[in-house]
Structure 1
Amino acid sequence: MKALSQRRRHPLAAVALLLMGLLITGGLYAAASSVNEAKAATTYSASDVNEGNKLFVANCATCHGMNAEGSPSGPSLVGVGAAAVDFQVGTGRMPMQMNGPQAREKPRQFTDEETMQLAAYVASLGAGPAVPGEEVLDTSKGNSATGGEIFRVNCAMCHNAAAAGGALTRGKFAPALAGVSKKHIYEAMVTGPQNMPVFNDSNITPDEKRDVITFLKEIESQGSPGGAQLGSLGPVSEGLLIWTAGLGIVIAFTIWLTSRPS
C-alpha cells in the first residue's frame, strides 16, 4: 500500500491519467464513428459511391479539392454527410453560379439520381447527417402548436415569425420558407447551411423538427386570412405603414377642402 501511495504522488501520475482518459475517449469515439459509417455504407451501393466520385471530380473538385479536402475556394466536405449534399445540390445552391455573400437558390443542375450519387460519395468520406427518412417528415404525426413555439424561439429572429425571411448582415439573408420541401427544411436544420446554426438532435429532437415542419406547412397552407400580407413584417412596421398612409390621406383631403372656393 505504501508503494502504491508513493506512485500516486509521482509527478507523472497526472500525465498518465490524462493520457489514459484521452485513449479511452478516442477509442469510444472511433467505435461510435465506425458504427455510423457502417450504417451509412449500407444506405448506398458501391456503384452509387463510384458514380458520385466521377460526378464530384467533374463538377465539384475545382473548389472543394480532388478528395473533397477543401481549398481556398471551398470548404472541406469530409464529414458533412449526405444531408448537406442533398440540400445544397437539390436546391440548386451548388454548384455556385458566382461568388457572393451566400449561395442563392436556383434551378438545380443534377437529377435526383445524380444528387443521390453525389451524396453517397460524400457520405463515404466520413460520418455525418443522413438524408431524413419519411418517418420524421410525416407531418400528420407532428404538433403544429409545439412546432410554432420552437420556431419562434430558435428561428423567427432570422426567418421572421411568419417564415417570410429577413435581411442579415453584409448582403446575407435568411430565405423565406414557403414552398421549401419538408426534406430540405429538415436537412437545413441538421446541417446549418450558409449562416444558419446547426440544430442537432441534442438541441432539437427529430420529433421536434417534425413539429417545426408541421407548423411551417400549416401556415403556408393558410395563406393570409387577414388580407394583404404587407410582407409579413410584423405589427410595428405594418402599423407604421397604415398610420403613414392614413395620415397622407387626411392631409390630402384637408388640402383639397381648403383649395375649394368658398
Structure 2
Amino acid sequence: MATPASPSPRKTRATGRRSPLASVSLLVIGLLATGGAYAAFTTSATAETQSQTTSLVADGQKLFAANCASCHGLNAQGSGVAPSLVGVGAASVDFQVGTGRMPAAASGPQAEQKPVQFTDSQIAALASYVASLGPGPAIPASDYLQGNGDVASGAELFRINCAMCHNVAGAGGALTEGKYAPSLSGVSAKHIYEAMVTGPQNMPVFNDLNITPADKANIISYLKYLDKHPSPGGLDLGNLGPVSEGLFVWIFALGSVVAITVWLTAKSN
C-alpha cells in the first residue's frame, strides 16, 4: 500500500510592503541628520560671529584707551571733565565720533563738528566697545534711512518737535549760553536718526515712545526733501525766518526809501 505524499510547504509570496517601523525609522534618521547638520552649522556661524564681535570690542577698547580714556576714564566711567559712557549705546558713539565732534578739541559750551578723526572701521570698533559696557540705543537699521517716507507727515512732526530750535527749514539757530542748534542741511540720515534717539548736547531724547521709528523715518524724509528742493523763491536769507527777513526790510528796503527821499528833497532845494 502506497504511502500518501506529504503536502509541500507553502511558499510565502512577497507582498512588496515595508514594515511601518521602517518608514518611521527613516523619518527619524532624516530628521536627526538634518537637525545635526543645522546645529553644527549654526554653532559654527555663531562661534565665528562671537569671535568677530570679541575681536571688534578688543580693538575698540584699545582705541578708547589711546584716544578717549584721558577724559572719560579707563573704564568709560566718566570723570570731572567728561560724562560716563556706560549705557549710552553704539548710536551715541557713532554720532559723536562719526561727525567729528569727538574727540573734542577743547572744552566749551558744546562740541563743534569738525573733520572726522577715525576711519569707519575704527568708529565701528569704538561703538562696539562702548555698547558692550551696557545696553543703549543701537545704530539704526537701514530701513529707516532711505528718505522715502511720508514727507508731509514728517514736516508736521518736525514743526512740532524740532523747528523751535532748528528752524522750520532745518537751518539751525542760536540757543542760550553760547550754545546753538546746528543746521541739518546735508547731514546724513543715519546721524539724524542717531541724534533723535541719543539727544546730543542740548537736544532732548526722542525714544520710540515719543516718536516711533516710522515717524523718525518721515522726519528724515522731510529733511532730505529740503536738501533736494531748495527754496524756489530766490534769495532765502539763510532760511532764518521772519527776524532776518524783517531786518532786511528795515535796513535795505526802508533805508533805500529814506535815502531816495532825502536825495529828492536835496535836489529840489
- TM range, normalised to the smaller chain? 0.7 to 0.9
Displacement of 1:166: 0.5
1:107 counterpart letter in structure 2: P
Give the aligned partner of residue 31 of structure 1: none
1:88 Cα deviation after fit: 0.2
- Asked if 2 retains the 8 angstrom alpha-carbon contact of 1:146 and 1:211, the reply is yes
Give 3-state SS (helix, strand or coil) of 1:45's partner. Answer: helix
Give 1:239 deviation, angstroms: 3.5
2 CA distance for matches of 1:135 and 1:86? 18
Distance 1:215 1:126 in 2: 33
Q: Is the CA contact (8 Å cut-off) linking 2:197 and 2:206 kept in structure 1?
A: yes
Question: Match of 1:194?
Answer: 201
Query: Aligned-pair distance for 1:115?
Result: 0.2
Matched residue SS, 2:235: coil
Q: For the residues of structure 1 that align with 2:192 and 2:146, how far apart are their CA atoms?
A: 13
Deviations 1:16-35 (A, max 9, x none): xxxxxxxxxxxxxxxxxxxx
Tell me: CA distance 1:251–1:151, structure 2 relative to 1, closer, same or farther (3 Å).
same
8 Å CA contact retained: 1:44, 1:120:
no
Q: Does 2:146 align with 1:161?
A: no
Give 1:49 shift: 0.2
Q: Structure 2: which 5+ runs fail to align?
A: 1-48
Q: Within 5 A, what are the aligned runs for 1:1-262?
A: 45-140=53-148, 142-260=149-267
Give the CA RMSD over aligned residues: 1.6
Aligned pair in 2 of structure 1 residues 199, 236: CA closer, same or farther (>3 Å)? same
Residue in structure 1 matched with residue 33 of structure 2 by the alignment = none
Do the aligned residues in 1 keep the contact of 2:237 with 2:244 (CA within 8 Å)? no
Distance 1:222 1:171, change over 3 A: same
**TM-score normalised to structure 2 length:** 0.79
Supply the distance in 1 between the matched residues of 2:93 and 2:244 (Cα, whole angstroms): 38
- 1:77-132 CA distances to partner (integer Å, 9 max, x unpaired)? 00000000000000000000001000000001000000000000000001100011
User: 1:245 Cα shift?
Assistant: 2.0
Instruction: Note if contact 1:166-1:175 (Cα within 8 Å) is conserved in structure 2.
Output: yes
Number of aligned positions between the proteins: 221
Q: Distance in 1 between matches of 2:227 and 2:123?
A: 27
> Per-residue deviation at 1:235?
3.1
Matched residues in 1 for 2:66 and 2:126: separation?
A: 11
SS, match of residue 242 in structure 1 = helix
Q: Which runs of 4+ in 1 moved over 3 A?
A: 41-44
1:249/1:42 Cα in 2 relative to 1: closer, same or farther (>3 Å)? farther
Distance 2:221 2:85 in 1: 30
List runs of 5+ in structure 1 lacking aligned partners.
1-40
- Cα separation, 2, equivalents of 1:42 and 1:190: 27
